Structures are given as C-alpha cells and as structure tokens.
Amino acid sequence: MAGRNPGTEPELGWISKVHVNRPAVVRHAEQIKKWKTVKGNWQAAWLLKAVTCIDLTTLSGDDTPSNVQRLCFKAKRPIREDLLKALDMHDKGITVAAVCVYPARVSDAVNTLKAAGCNIPVASVAAGFPSGQTPLETKLTEIKLAVEYGAREIDIVISRSLVLTGQWEGLYEEIRLCRAACGEAHMKTILATGELGSLANVYKASMIAMMAGSDFIKTSTGKEVENATFPVGIVMMRAIKEYYWQTGYKIFYHVTGSYALQHELAMA
C-alpha cells in the first residue's frame, strides 16, 4: 500500500460527466442483503474485528468530563472479560479504534486515556459539525484547536450546499484547506449522504473529497434523517476503488448509523 493520500488536482471535467445507474445499484444492494452470514466462531471473530474498527463516540450538548472519562474506560475494555476469556481473546489487547468527542472535550479524553496507559487515539469532530453551516475561517480555526488539544483524527463535515449547487471546485478547495489545517492528524470527510440529493452527487462528493486529500470518506454525521444505506455504501466504495485505480492510494471507508444508537452503546 502507498503512503498517506496526498490528493490530486481536481478533475472537474470528468466529475461533471459522472452518471450513476440507480436501479442497478439498488438491485445490487438487495442482493447483498440476501447473502448468507457467517456463524459460530467465524461470526465471533468478525464481531471482534468490528469492535476494533469502532470510533466510540459521545457528541451531546450535556457531555461532561465525567462521562467522557467513562467513555474512555469503555474504549479500553469494550467487551466483558468473561466473554473474552471464553473466546481465548482476553490477552489480545482488544480496544476500539478511537474515542470521538467535540473539540472542547478532547483534552478530557486525551488525559484520561494517557492516565489509563492507553494509546487509543482521540478523534474530534470539527468544521461546523454537524451542519457545516459556519464560515470557512471558523472551520479551520476549530480544526487547528482540536489538533492543538491532542486530537489525532479530525472528522470534518462538508458544506452540502456546495454539492447541491454543483460548486465542485469550491468543495475541493474547502476540503483541501481543512486537510492542511489537520497537519499530521488524519482527516475523515463526512459527506452527509442523506442530504446530497442523489447517488451521483454521493459519487462526485466522494471523488472530490479524495482528490482533496482525505484519509477517510464517511457516510454521515449520524444526525441526518437518513444515514448510511446499502446503495450509498456501494457507490462510495466504487469511488474508492476508482480512486485507487487512478492513483494507487487506498482511502478508508467509514460508515455511520444512527447516532442515537451509537450513543446508547457508548454509554452502556
């Protein structure tokens, strides 16, 4: 695998000609739902793997240092010890991938994880999350502050208005500046796919985000009416494959479901 995605120049002429065959995508999504799932030990193994890919998240207006601390302890030990012993996985150091909070709570998370002797990275939402309706200068300042506080991953959210009005060059430039503000911190670009209007826009926004240097592309904030769906996932992963064919850089796909459900699991 090549190193971190440096981005490319925007290919706006190609982007403008993109077409997505929605009926074909929907049919493929229905076929995926019918695939047989793994059972027994294989199922347990995949579920454990899924846990290690989770960003354990709390993004509520009533977040406090104490419930962020509780979240961090859950992140270090996300599965009951008796279950891990039953699977002979108690000594494998299974943790979640990251702890995700608002910028104001990053220091709380960083300090708690450090005190617990844990190297789980702290991720922070930024850039006007969840609506994206803040001035660009404010978005960049928020990103820089989150990094200064110790965030190693930044989840930005795009301005949906730029997609809906076809301002692809403007979207590219905004994401590129956000990437620069992240510095060494990895950047996830949240597309808020439920608010983009069409699968073609999902594909175009995915490609623009990768061209602008995103390390991940992410489906949604978890606060939209519609979050991740099978058709959206298929389109985004096809865009990732296309970008890899063109550049040799593999971009990560991150899926967000119901934020309410995530929060409930995080606090369990």
CA distance 49 to 43: 10
Closest residue by Cα to residue 101 from 140, 136, 62, 132:
62
Known catalytic residue at 108: no
Query: How far apart, in whole angstroms, are the C-alpha atoms of residue 136 and residue 174?
Result: 7
Residue 81 burial (CB count, 10 A) = 9
Identify the burial level of 133 via C-beta atoms within 10 angstroms of its C-beta, where 0-12 means exposed, 13-18 middle and 19 or more buried: exposed
| Residue 92: active-site member | no
**Residues 52 and 77 sit within 8 Å (Cβ to Cβ):** no
Q: Take residue 27 and report the two structure tokens written for it.
A: 């049919």
**Catalytic one among 74, 76, 204, 218?**
218
User: For residues 90 and 11, what is the distance between their CA atoms, to the nearest angstrom?
Assistant: 49
Cα-to-chain-centroid distance, residue 75: 17
Strand bridging mode 216-218 / 252-254: parallel
Catalytic residue of the set 55, 108, 155, 215:
155
Which of these, 8, 41, 10, 15, lies nearest to 239 by C-alpha position? 15
Instruction: Provide the angle, in degrees to the nearest 10, between the axes of the packed helices 259-267 and 65-76.
Output: 80
Judge whether 17 counts as a catalytic residue.
Answer: no
Question: What span, in angstroms and rounded, lies between the C-alpha atoms of 138 and 142?
Answer: 6
Catalytic sites, residue numbers: 155, 218, 250
